[in-house]
Amino acid sequence: MGTAALLVTPTELAVTGFAFVTLLGDAWVLFVGLALGYWIGPRIDETTRPAAATGIAIATLALAVVLAAKSYTAIPRPTAMPIDPAGLPGTLSGFVAGELDSGGFSFPSGHATGATAVYGSLGLLLTVGRRRWRYLLAGGAISLISLSRLVLQVHYPRDVLAGMTLGAGLVAGGLWVVRDGDRWRVDRGFLLAGIAAVVGIVVAWQGGHAEELRHGMIGVGTAVGGGGVWYQYGERLISRPAVSVPIAAGGLGVAGGLWIGAYEGLFGLIGAAVGSAVSVAIILGLPLAESWRQKRA
């Protein structure tokens, strides 16, 4: 019947497609995208860098608040699967199986919360293109990512609705904290995220949830590293040039490796905080390295 018949049913096609869509709401994709926008954004528009930095702070806040909420409610995820991924061809089988086999708790949806927080804040803050198109793109991304969690049956509808509502609230609160007239007080956003992460750690510790406890330490580390760098160098960072490709590649390799190691639990609890702090400090501070390189050239 040929390769076209390997994906047999429309349901398998839909689930496979939405397994890729849901990646756009993964924490690592959001952070990599924000980092690249932060580094390269000044080539496009002067507001891109502070908007991306604000997005990182609000994403950290979303991670911390979701951690606290999931640890407190401790609601199990749905157990049913929409398809049997073993019937899919080749590497798609393992990929889709991984997206369907989500661990942790269900309420609220972290993907819906994070997508609303990040894409919503970028849609509001960026000045590239027409405002209508920015809103449409942000709303479309949020809707598709949130829908993907239902198609994959890793969340209940209430989880997704709660996540979108929570994310919208975090955008409103985060932007109110960060914007101070013409100044970008991104360090305040990181401070708020750090407080939320500490609350999440306490709730996770009381509930005996080890994985959520590690995520809380990552939130604290990210808040400390990001807030410290922006408090010290924020005004200078906004005016620094775009980061070159070699420096961006090196920074992404080091910062990404530290963050993934912390997320995967390779460093222990204290190491997770330290690794994430260094990771976000590298991300935010890299324009200073680029400025130094250009002066030496």
CA atoms within 13 A on the CB side of 60: 37
Global pTM reads 0.89
User: 87 is written with which tokens?
Assistant: 């019937």
Q: What is the mean pLDDT of residues 67-85?
A: 87
* For residues 130-140, average pLDDT: 91
Residue 57 CA to residue 285 CA, distance in Å, equals 15
Q: How much is the pLDDT for 245?
A: 84
pLDDT higher than 80, residue 90: no
How would residue 193 be classed by pLDDT, with cut points 50, 70 and 90? very high
Q: pLDDT per residue over 198-244, tens digit each?
A: 999 999 988 888 888 888 999 999 999 999 999 998 888 888 888 88
For residues 170 and 58, the answer to whether their CB atoms sit within 8 Å is: yes
Percent share of the chain, pLDDT over 70: 96
Full domain range(s) for residue 81? 3-296
Higher-confidence position of 295 and 217: 217
Q: What's the rounded mean pLDDT across residues 258-265?
A: 85
Residues 6+ apart with CB under 8 A from 251: 35, 39, 243, 282, 283, 286, 289
Q: How many CA atoms lie within 13 A of 146 on its CB side?
A: 25
Residue pLDDT, tens place only, 262-283? 888 888 889 989 999 999 999 9
Q: What is the pLDDT of residue 80?
A: 80
Residue 91: other Cβ atoms inside 10 A: 8
Query: Mean pLDDT across the chain, nearest whole number?
Result: 88
What's the pLDDT at 6?
Answer: 52
Per-residue confidence (pLDDT) for residue 223, from 0 to 100:
94
Which pLDDT value is given to residue 295? 67
Q: CA 139, 59, 137: angle at the middle one, nearest 5?
A: 15
pLDDT tens figures, 9-57: 888 888 888 999 999 999 889 988 999 999 988 888 888 899 999 999 9
Got the DSSP string for 24-68?
GGSHHHHHHHHHHHHHHGGGT-TTHHHHHHHHHHHHHHHHHHHHH
pLDDT digits (tens, 9 = 90+) for 101-111: 777 888 999 99
CB 48 within 8 A of CB 126: yes
pLDDT of residue 1: 43
Q: What percent of the chain has pLDDT over 90?
A: 47
Question: Residue range 85-110: average pLDDT?
Answer: 83
pLDDT tops 60 at residue 7: no
Structural domain total, the chain: 1
Mean pLDDT of 155-170: 95
Quote the pLDDT of residue 2: 46
Burial 167-202 (b: 16+ CB within 10 A, else e): beebbeebbebbbeeeebbbbbbbbbbbebbbbbbe
**Contact residues for 233 (Cβ-Cβ < 8 A; gap 6+):** 284, 285, 288
